[in-house]
A and B are shown apart, each in its own frame.
Chain A
Amino acid sequence: MRYYFFHLMSWPYLPANFADDYDSAWVWLPNSLYDPVKGHDLYQNYLDTLAYADELGFDGICVNEHHQNAYGLMPSPNLMAAALTQRTRRCQIAVIGNALPLYNPPLRVAEEFAMLDVLSGGRLVAGMVIGGGPEYFSYQVNPTYARERFREALDLIVKAWTTPGPFLWNSKHYFFRYVNPWPRPIQQPHPPIWIPGAGSLETVEFVAGRRYAYMGIPYFHIDTFRRMFGLFREACEKAGYKADPEQMGWGIPIYVAETDRQAREEFEPHLWYFIRNLLKNISLAPPGYTSAKSALAILRNRGQFLADQKDWDAIEKGVFAIVGSPETVRQKLDHYRKELGVGVVLTGCQTGTLPHELARKSMALLAKEVLPHVR
Chain B
Amino acid sequence: MFDALKKLKYGARVFLSRKGGEPEVIDVRGRPVSIMSGGDGPPFVYLHSTLGESMRWLPFHAAWSKHFTVYAPLHPGFGQSGGFDEIDSIEDMAFHYLELFDALGLGEVILGGVSLGGWIAAEFAIRWPERVKKLWLSGAPGLWVEEQPLPDLFRDMANVPRLRSLLFHDPDGYMAKMVLADNIEDERRVMGFQAMTVLARLVWERPYDPKLARRLHRIQCPTLLLWGGNDRLVPPAYGEAYRQHLPQSEMKIIPHCGHLAMFEKEAEFVEAVTAFCQ
Contacts and interface: CB of A to CB of B under 8 A. Distances in A.
A292 B200 contact: no
Interface stretch (A31-39, A136-144, A233-241, A335-343): A136-144
Contacts of B190: 292, 295-296, 299
Interface string A141-158: 111110000000000000
Interface string A63-97: 00000000000000000000000000000000000
A271 to B, nearest CB: 26
A285 B189 CA distance: 13
Contact of A296 (B154, B157, B186): B186
A287 B186 contact: no
A186 to B, nearest CB: 37
B6 interface: no
Contacts of B158: 285
B146 interface: no
A286 B154 contact: yes
B81 interface: no
Interface string B177-199: 00000000011011101101101
Give the most central of A137, A287, A292: most B CB within 10 Å: A287
Contacts of B191: 292
Contacts of B186: 296, 299-300
Interface in A123-172: 136-137, 140-145
A286 B157 CA distance: 9
B157 to A, nearest CB: 7
Contacts of A141: 204-205
Interface in B198-253: 199-201, 204-205
A288 interface: yes
B19 interface: no
Given A143-B200, A144-B200, A295-B190, A287 B205 contact: no
A28 B201 CA distance: 22
A143 B204 contact: yes
A286 B194 CA distance: 11
B276 to A, nearest CB: 33
Interface size bracket, A side: 10 to 19
Interface string A344-365: 0000000000000000000000
A286 B200 contact: yes
A144 B199 CA distance: 10
A142 B194 contact: no
Contacts of B189: 295-296, 299
Contacts of B29: none
Contacts of B196: 287-288
Contacts of B205: 140-142
B88 to A, nearest CB: 9
Contacts of A299: 186, 189-190
A142 B204 contact: yes
Contacts of B199: 287
Q: Which secondary structure dominates where chain B touches chain A?
A: helix
Contacts of A140: 204-205
Contacts of A292: 190-191, 193-194, 197
Interface string B149-162: 00000110110000
A31 to B, nearest CB: 17
B83 to A, nearest CB: 15
Contact of B200 (A28, A288, A296, A300): A288
B166 to A, nearest CB: 16
A141 B154 CA distance: 13
Contacts of B155: 28, 137
A287 B197 contact: yes
A292 B196 CA distance: 11
B204 A296 contact: no
A310 to B, nearest CB: 21
B204 A286 contact: yes
Nearest to B50: A287
A251 B186 CA distance: 29
A261 B197 CA distance: 48
A142 B200 contact: yes
B193 A142 contact: no
A300 B155 CA distance: 21
Task: Please provide the 9 A-B residue pairs with the shortest distance between their CB atoms, ordered closest to farther.
Answer: A287-B196, A288-B197, A144-B201, A287-B197, A287-B200, A142-B204, A296-B190, A292-B190, A295-B193
Interface of A: 28, 136-137, 140-145, 285-288, 292, 295-296, 299-300
Interface of B: 154-155, 157-158, 186-187, 189-191, 193-194, 196-197, 199-201, 204-205
29 contacts: A28-B155, A137-B155, A140-B204, A142-B200, A142-B201, A142-B204, A143-B200, A143-B204, A144-B201, A286-B154, A286-B200, A287-B157, A287-B193, A287-B194, A287-B196, A287-B197, A287-B199, A287-B200, A288-B197, A288-B200, A288-B201, A292-B190, A292-B191, A292-B193, A292-B197, A295-B189, A295-B193, A296-B189, A300-B186
Given A145-B201, A286-B200, 19 more contacts: A141-B204, A141-B205, A142-B201, A142-B205, A143-B200, A143-B204, A144-B197, A286-B154, A287-B193, A287-B196, A287-B199, A288-B196, A288-B200, A292-B190, A292-B194, A292-B197, A295-B189, A296-B189, A299-B189
